[in-house]
Amino acid sequence: MNLKDAFRFQNKLKNLMYEATSILQDRGNIVKIKTTHLRSKVMADAQDAVVEEAAPSEYAGHANEVAAFLMSLMEEREKLSKAIHAAKSNLDLDMDSEVGLNRQRQELAEVFRNMTTLRNSEKTIAGGGSGFRFNGEGNQVSYRCDAIQVITIDFDRNKIRGMARALSKRADEVSMALDQCLVNTEVAYEAPFDMNDSFEDILNDFIEKSAVAYWWNLY
């Protein structure tokens, strides 16, 4: 598989582990709860009744197999991580560093583009000014007046625009190179199941194979 599919399979393994873990975190899947109604203590001729709580899922009673399934998924994640690391180490492009740098390039270019949208302006603000004066009684009082607000950009718009363009161009070039690496770089890893199989199909197949292996070991 190529790097792109390898990353997709990494996410698949992660999601499978999440679902399998949720099964073991549900107490009803890993214990059996029986309640005995001691009716005979109240009526000597009555029979005690045993009530067993219903299992919350089809995987109740398969805690050992689900745990083994999680261990196998963990092993696959380790194998795949090593294979991806080996594949990326042979590239001229440092993918991990460039992904982070490209994110920063795009964010910085956006800051510069927003700066270039600013314009010099002037406006009158009615009642926006204030001052103090002495009234007829000799007391100092405040008063309101109109104000003129002038906004002047304090940077070289052309230089900032050029920086934004340079960053965007470099980001696009790196993005293209990263895409080529994802598609053209082979990863030495063989998936144990189809990426599009459902969680239920993958886990049930694992449980069935575990049962077959168990019986083979007996004979």
Judged against a pLDDT cut of 80, whether residue 218 lies above it is answered with: no
pLDDT at 212: 58
Within 43-155, strands assigned E span 49-52, 121-134, 140-151
Q: Is 147 helix (H, G, I), strand (E, B) or coil?
A: strand
Judged against a pLDDT cut of 60, whether residue 215 lies above it is answered with: no
pLDDT at 217: 57
CB-based contacts of 153: which residues, under 8 Å, 6+ apart? 118, 119, 120
Q: Among residues 25, 32, 33, which one has the least CA distance to residue 61?
A: 32
pLDDT at 201: 95
pLDDT, average across residues 27-39: 91
Q: Is 36 helix (H, G, I), strand (E, B) or coil?
A: strand
Q: Among residues 7, 60, 72, which one has the least CA distance to residue 32?
A: 60
pLDDT at 210: 81
**Single pTM value for the model:** 0.75
Which element (helix H / strand E) includes 150? strand 140-151
**167-212 tens-digit pLDDT:** 999 999 999 999 999 999 999 999 999 999 999 999 999 998 887 5
The residue extents of the domains of the chain are 1-90+185-219
**99-147 tens-digit pLDDT:** 999 999 999 999 999 999 999 999 999 999 999 898 888 899 998 999 9
Q: Which residues of 74-106 are buried (b: 16+ CB within 10 A; e: fewer)?
A: eebbeebeebbeebbeeeeeebeebeeebeebe
